[in-house]
A and B are shown apart, each in its own frame.
Chain A
Amino acid sequence: DGGITQSPKYLFRKEGQNVTLSCEQNLNHDAMYWYRQDPGQGLRLIYYSQIVNDFQKGDIAEGYSVSREKKESFPLTVTSAQKNPTAFYLCASSIAGAGYEQYFGPGTRLTVT
């Protein structure tokens, strides 16, 4: 059963704490992406990776960090430097770059108080 998974579905943290969101795919895709979605808005790109051990900043990378040590995994850390971290976070993958359709996970809703 192929797909892309994110965990947990809901996450609550206190201000000042770092938190890591999980994203795993078994589609054998080279490219993976992290997006942020705020209420009533479109998606904004945080980071993307087109190959293992390489990643690039998206449009809103400040306060976030990622790693891509394995093809299947692309975890996102929301650091205490992120000024407004409460949002819906979506992970996606594609076979190779944005020239192809992206497959999305179910998302993680992060609430920081």
Chain B
Amino acid sequence: SQQGEEDPQALSIQEGENATMNCSYKTSINNLQWYRQNSGRGLVHLILIRSNEREKHSGRLRVTLDTSKKSSSLLITASRAADTASYFCATVLSGNTGKLIFGQGTTLQVKP
């Protein structure tokens, strides 16, 4: 089973609305990262949140981390058509900082 699982798998909203994506994981982490992937392209790093942090912001992005529930959420406010992409969470396990483990991703469509 996956270390990181995103929910929902797909999300469709209107431009200007907020989009929330959730990520759950199973074992203790060192940090959790969110990435964006436009269709057929490489991934772009969005935010890294460490296990001792609860919330981070970057522009219109807000990430929260709840280690007691082993979950994280990514909020995109005032979405734009250009935000249409797949979003992945990835975890770095405690005691093993050599690799990232990716979830299956959430596909976001923002309609103009």
Contact = CB atoms under 8 A, between A and B. Distances in A.
Q: Do A and B come from one complex?
A: yes
B42 A48 contact: no
Nearest to A100: B48
A42 B98 contact: no
Interface residues of A, number: 27
Interface residues of B, number: 25
B98 A56 contact: yes
Contacts, number: 63
Nearest to A90: B42
Given A58-B99, A97-B97, A42 B42 contact: no
A33 B98 CA distance: 10
A98 B70 CA distance: 19
Given A42-B103, A99-B30, A106 B98 contact: no
A75 interface: no
A43 interface: yes
Given A42-B88, A99-B31, A106 B42 contact: yes
Interface of B: 2, 4, 30-31, 33, 35, 40-45, 48, 88, 90, 92, 97-105
